[in-house]
Amino acid sequence: MSDRMKFGIFMAPFHTAEGQNPTLAFRRDLELIQHLDNLGYDEAWLGEHHTAAGEIVSSPEIFCGWAAAQTNRIKLGTGVISLPYHNPLWVADRAILLDHLTRGRFMLGIGPGVLVTDAAMIGLNPEELRTYLQEDFPVLMHLLRRGEPLTVETDRYRLVEAQVQLDPFSDFDVAVTSIFTPSGPLLAGRYGIGLLQLSGLTPEGMAILPHHWKVMESQAEKFGTTVSRDSWRVVGIMHIAETRDKAIDEVRFGLNEYFDYVQNVVGVEFYQTAGKTFDERLEWAVSTGNALIGTPNDAIEKIGELVDASAGGVGAFLFWAQEWASPEDTKHNFELFARRVMPVFQGTTRQLDAARKWAAKNSGNLMSKQMDAAKRFIDAHADELPTPEVQPQHPGERS
């Protein structure tokens, strides 16, 4: 795999404070992506959600197109399209369109859907979403990668000699989500695509990494595909500042609103033991490894643990984007990470370090030789140099 680790964000996005202006929330999301683009981050993935009033982007494709027109180099992906909610033909068609419009900066992320209220509102059984994904994903990949028409019928849609009308602009990334079940790794290995690992930075989440990689490798061998660690992305919560105390103080801005949402609105079981006060929730988040709140050195240590736990490395670390801190402190967190953490895992200071060491080792001796040469030159040309004139001092001037 490449020795240059990629970095980016996985943006649901979470706007969990009640009573806020959604139009301004969308603008903050765009401005953050533009900020990351300027800082040299590699990727931003946008989610799809339709209910619960916290994760408010309903079409990541539209958002990707909007952001692509206002950024320069960062890649933009759907993180993710809930495939069971859609006809796979239209998903393939829109992905190829975005690949053309962005000139290869688009990435297609696919998952089963996570908000049970989304599925219920369109009459789907939330318990069947992973089964639907296993059923729909082969259809999607056929449409993306094979030219011949496809006829298929399920309980949710029917395709008759279906095919896309455009070839892709590029060989754009396709990735599927995974938390703890082997659903995602099975598909990733079978089709030779990427994995968006949402299991986080907890000890349990990192312990599952080598197992998921083995599943991907075994499936790739079985189906004659190739998987790459460069396309394996791990998502986790992190906020850093110059000191741990400062980082903790900054997340007072919005941590409670986030926990209120996941505990009381969405009802995520994992978060139910986190408590109800800021101090309880912060302690739970840090002690369980659910979030890293600290310094650049803490971030370097944690990502090093992630690389070791994966038993071979992952291609990217993605921040689980949230608004625990203010917009200004959030942006500073990403800038501090870009300045202090990213170079450690991308090798961008390797030659600078070598140049500094070489100069420190040799400059003293070379400088001494240069000064000796300058003195010899002066001595050799002493007769040719004019004698300095001494200017008379005016009365009252000090000598």
**What pLDDT score was predicted for residue 393?**
63
Handedness of CA 34, 35, 39, 41 (dihedral sign): negative
Both tokens of 15, joined, read: 């706007």
Residue 20 has pLDDT above 90, yes or no: yes
Three-state SS at 246: helix
Task: Please state, in angstroms and rounded to a whole number, the distance separating the CA atoms of residues 165 and 358.
Answer: 58
- With a pLDDT cut of 70, the percent of the chain lying above it is 97
What lies within 8 Å, CB to CB, of 168 at 6+ separation is 96, 99, 100, 144
What lies within 8 Å, CB to CB, of 370 at 6+ separation is none
User: What are the E-state strand segments in the chain?
Assistant: 6-11, 43-46, 75-78, 81-82, 106-111, 150-153, 158-162, 174-178, 194-197, 232-240, 291-294, 316-321
Question: How big is the CA angle at 195 (ends 175 and 33), to the nearest 5 degrees?
Answer: 65
**What pLDDT score was predicted for residue 138?**
97
Residue 8 has pLDDT above 70, yes or no: yes
**What pLDDT score was predicted for residue 397?**
55
**What pLDDT score was predicted for residue 358?**
93
Residue 398 has pLDDT above 60, yes or no: no
- Write the pLDDT tens digit of every residue in 178-196: 998 888 999 999 999 999 9
How large is the average pLDDT for residues 23-41?
Answer: 98
- Write the pLDDT tens digit of every residue in 249-260: 999 999 999 999
Confidence of residue 3 (pLDDT cuts 50, 70, 90): confident
C-alpha to C-alpha distances, 161 to 143, 149, 158, 234, nearest whole angstrom: 11, 5, 10, 37
DSSP for 334-385?
A: HHHHHHHTHHHHHTTTHHHHHHHHHHHHHHHHHHHHHHHHHHHHHHHTGGGS
β pairing state of 6-11 and 43-46: parallel
Residue 219 has pLDDT above 70, yes or no: yes
Confidence of residue 45 (pLDDT cuts 50, 70, 90): very high
How large is the average pLDDT for residues 29-51?
Answer: 98
Is residue 238 within 8 A of residue 324, CB to CB? The reply is no
β pairing state of 106-111 and 158-162: unpaired
Higher pLDDT, 143 or 1: 143
**What pLDDT score was predicted for residue 399?**
45
**What pLDDT score was predicted for residue 385?**
75
What lies within 8 Å, CB to CB, of 225 at 6+ separation is 189, 190, 191, 192, 219
Cα first-last separation, the chain: 71
Domain extents in the chain: 6-348, 352-383
What lies within 8 Å, CB to CB, of 292 at 6+ separation is 201, 236, 237, 238, 239, 240, 286, 298, 299, 302
- Write the pLDDT tens digit of every residue in 224-247: 999 999 999 999 999 999 999 999
**What pLDDT score was predicted for residue 384?**
83
Nearest to 81 by CA among 55, 47, 56: 47
Confidence of residue 147 (pLDDT cuts 50, 70, 90): confident
Plot region of 166 (φ>0 → left; ψ -120 to 50 → alpha; else → beta) = beta
C-beta atoms surrounding 257 within 10 Å: 18
- Write the pLDDT tens digit of every residue in 110-119: 999 999 999 9
Asked if CATH classification 3.20.20.30 holds for the domain at 6-348, the reply, yes or no, is yes
- With a pLDDT cut of 90, the percent of the chain lying above it is 90
Radius of gyration of the CA atoms of the chain, in A: 28
